[in-house]
Structure 1
Amino acid sequence: MIVSNPLEHGLPYAAITLNSQLPKYFDKVWKQANIRICVDGGANKIWDIQDHDKDHDILAPDAVVGDIKTIRPEIKHEFELAGTQFVDLKNQNFTDAEKAINLLSEMKCKNPILLLGAFDGRFDQTAAEIHSALSRPDLSIILADDSNFSNWIFPGRTKILTPQKVTTNVCGLLPLLKPVSLKTKGLRWNLNGQTLAMGKFISSSNEVAAKEVTIDTKVPIFWTLQAKKVIEIQKKAAKK
């Protein structure tokens, strides 16, 4: 499997805005997304950016998912006029991010998905976003905020393309599920069968040392790259 951040390569992607602090690069990423989904209260946040900063021209989401009652009435009205679809899902068995991801799956979205604001606020909410990405190994889901671009690496051999246009070379491999023996290539400190385990040994503050990183694993492992402080997003290379 080949994994790459679409922002590094100017490729099409879908964006999900969570009900959390939006990244500073949000407006560029939102405008260039092929599909735009908000999780309930996230609709208030993107409207507030547009409403209070006239230099921003934020596009309306294609859909808003979750508890629609949390959206302010005037915002719901404006987005309805813009053609936004509202999907009122109150199922407590799914996280808000899962609801949005499932909607994208129903829309036959095959592009990578960016979860914007995935690491903001309460840790249990961050854990919920990590869980949401783990639950869909069939999709390429990247958790993003101002400091991180992270995703699950699933069993098998994965090649990660790392041109470092929006990320630095600082990376980590976190065994969040259970101990895992890894083999890697392309890192400053490669692993050659060593076992990573929480509370014993993890690969944090590692560094990318090549244009691509190869990871061999039998257990899902969490991969994270540091985001550059100033991100200039490329124009996407293809339209939906």
Structure 2
Amino acid sequence: MEWDPTQFFRGDSDSPPAPFALLILNHPINEKAYDVLQKHAMITVCVDGGANHFYEMMKAKGRENSHIKHPNIIIGDLDSIRPAVRTHYESHGVNVIYHHDEYCTDFTKALRYIRAHVDEILPSTSTTTTTTTTAITNETQHPPKNDNEKGNDLTILILGGLGGRVDQAFSQIHHLYSHSTDTTPESTQTRNKTGHLYLISEESITFILHPGRNIIRTPRARCIPSPSTPTPTPTPTTSKNTKQTAEEKEKEEEEEEEEGTYLLEENVGMIPLHGIERITTKGFQWDVEEWETVMGGQLSTSNHIRAEEVEVRCGGALLMTLELAGRFKRVI
């Protein structure tokens, strides 16, 4: 299984990412991540109260009435969306779908909706660029720039936090796990054209590795070298030190410019979700072979990326979380 989680954060000079849908949960939005992701999203779906956060984000920017800044769909049992927000988006033609099912969370309802309409969301392979769906009332916000989009599947990016209430954070991990590993006939049929699921929180991008060999692309990760020499003791200012200060200033400016190229920090974690796992890794600072990990025992947290491409072998589903570069983190 191959994973390329940072493709959605690369600049316009890079090749376009694989087609993806953006799903907004009922949680404060990582605006820095959203600003990058919305440029290429095929569709934006708000989960019930997620529309409140979306509206407030746009209102703060003075864009709440901008047609191209509206979500395509709002779906759920609609017990969390504020009446004024619902009225606002309905008046702008946004499709607000009431879906009442006590045995199904709004997260699941939104995910199933996306998977059921994947043929309408994905760009046509023909030379025309017309929109063929009426179920999605708004036209696709951002059609592909060219025909070089990668893959025929629709990846789903989920914007939601893992901060705040602990039970809600576990609920999001639970949904990510269950919808990534569900092999029931119904689930298999509805996701036959959907690709990976990624959860993008305040500081990280998280996904569920599949059993077997997983190759994860990790380009442009900030690898912090271990300190090799002690910091020199400051000396009184001289003409030589003035020259050194200028050189240091130039180095700082270069570092600031380089800061804008990072996609990831070096930190990574791999958490077993279903009993004991044995993992083998390559491309990390601390690689292991057939290493046993289990909740309550040994856990692989705060390992460091040391390659443009890393490998993880596991026997079952394994949660992997990568730390986003500082420029993509939510400011709290």
TM-score, reference length from structure 1: 0.88
> What is the DSSP-based 3-state SS (H/G/I as helix, E as strand, rest coil) of the residue aligned with 1:172?
strand
State how far apart, in whole Å, the 2-side matches of 1:79 and 1:196 are.
47
Task: Note if 1:32 corresponds to 2:129.
Answer: no
2:84 to 56, 69, 74: 74
Alignment map for 1:56-95 (pairs within 5 Å): 59-95=69-105
CA contact (8 A) 1:18 1:38 kept: yes
CA contact (8 A) 2:9 2:36 kept: no
> What is the DSSP-based 3-state SS (H/G/I as helix, E as strand, rest coil) of the residue aligned with 2:216?
strand
Task: Note if 1:228 corresponds to 2:284.
Answer: no
Residues 108-132 of structure 1 deviation map (CA, whole Å, 9 limit, x = unaligned) = 2632212112313211111111111
- Amino acid paired to 1:61: P
Query: Higher strand fraction: Structure 1 or Structure 2?
Result: 1
State how far apart, in whole Å, the 2-side matches of 1:207 and 1:222 are.
16
- Amino acid paired to 1:183: T
- Amino acid paired to 1:62: N
Residues 31-88 of structure 1 deviation map (CA, whole Å, 9 limit, x = unaligned) = 4311101011111111112223327867111111112243223322332243322222
Task: Note if 1:50 corresponds to 2:106.
Answer: no
State how far apart, in whole Å, the 2-side matches of 1:69 and 1:128 are.
18
Match of 1:7 in 2: 8
> What is the DSSP-based 3-state SS (H/G/I as helix, E as strand, rest coil) of the residue aligned with 1:68?
coil
Task: Note if 1:140 corresponds to 2:196.
Answer: yes
TM-score, reference length from structure 2: 0.65
> What is the DSSP-based 3-state SS (H/G/I as helix, E as strand, rest coil) of the residue aligned with 1:184?
strand
Following superposition, the deviation at residue 152 of structure 1 comes to 0.5
Task: Note if 1:155 corresponds to 2:211.
Answer: yes
Match of 1:130 in 2: 173
Task: Note if 1:18 corresponds to 2:25.
Answer: yes
Following superposition, the deviation at residue 3 of structure 1 comes to 0.7
State how far apart, in whole Å, the 1-side matches of 2:311 and 2:277 are.
16
Aligned length: 232
Following superposition, the deviation at residue 24 of structure 1 comes to 3.1
Task: Note if 1:171 corresponds to 2:181.
Answer: no
The unaligned stretches of length 5 or more in structure 1 are 233-240
CA contact (8 A) 2:77 2:101 kept: no
Match of 2:162 in 1: 119
State how far apart, in whole Å, the 1-side matches of 2:163 and 2:103 are.
22
Query: RCO greater where, 1 or 2, for CA within 8 Å and sep 6 or more?
Result: 1
Following superposition, the deviation at residue 27 of structure 1 comes to 3.3
> What is the DSSP-based 3-state SS (H/G/I as helix, E as strand, rest coil) of the residue aligned with 2:104?
coil
CA contact (8 A) 2:277 2:314 kept: yes
> What is the DSSP-based 3-state SS (H/G/I as helix, E as strand, rest coil) of the residue aligned with 1:140?
strand
Alignment map for 1:181-196 (pairs within 5 Å): 181-196=278-293
Query: Higher helix fraction: Structure 1 or Structure 2?
Result: 2
> What is the DSSP-based 3-state SS (H/G/I as helix, E as strand, rest coil) of the residue aligned with 2:30?
coil
Overall identity of the aligned pairs, in %: 28
> What is the DSSP-based 3-state SS (H/G/I as helix, E as strand, rest coil) of the residue aligned with 2:328?
coil
Following superposition, the deviation at residue 19 of structure 1 comes to 0.8
CA contact (8 A) 1:31 1:59 kept: no
- Amino acid paired to 1:14: A
